[in-house]
Amino acid sequence: MSDSIKFGGVTLDCPNAGELAAFYAEITGGEVTVPGDSWAMVTCPDGSDICFQAAAGYSPPSWPDGASQQMHLDFDVYDLDSTEARVLAAGATKYHFQPNDHCRVFADPVGHPFCLSTLATADLREG
């Protein structure tokens, strides 16, 4: 037996798991592999999973006003402008405050912050 730990994914609280799963499937090009209103899962093209669970009394995080953002997801992209247009069309909103020039911060339809970033993909473009 091994005591190693392998990261298995992330689960986001939300008002309706199926609706938020559909949003993330659309923006990642993934597939809703476990549909449901109380719990759902998206499998992304790279095989990673994002899970969603309905939470009674869900309250979205607040950022950047000094309150906790609770957590956020980072997505690596090649083209910020075209990817921004795609996530906005899917229902994301862009935060007014943007911390730097290599990433853009958005909120999903229920308020979870997420970033689109070119920082991690810069090496891929140069290589």
Q: pLDDT for 8-64, tens place per residue? A: 779 999 999 999 999 999 999 999 999 999 999 999 999 999 999 999 999 888 877
> Do 116 and 103 meet the contact criterion of CB atoms below 8 Å apart?
yes
2 within a domain of the structure (yes/no):
no
My answer on whether 106 and 86 are in the same domain is: yes
Max CA distance (Å), the chain: 49
pTM of the predicted structure, to 2 decimals: 0.80
Assign residue 83 the CATH number of its domain. Answer: 3.10.180.10
Q: pLDDT for 59-97, tens place per residue? A: 888 877 766 667 789 899 989 999 999 999 999 999 999
C-alpha 31/C-alpha 33 separation (Å) is 6
C-alpha 44/C-alpha 24 separation (Å) is 9
C-alpha 78/C-alpha 117 separation (Å) is 8
The amino acid at residue 88 is L
My answer on whether 13 and 49 are in the same domain is: yes
93 within a domain of the structure (yes/no):
yes
My answer on whether 81 and 117 are in the same domain is: yes
Assign residue 33 the CATH number of its domain. Answer: 3.30.720.120
Domain limit, last residue, from 57, 79, 98: 57
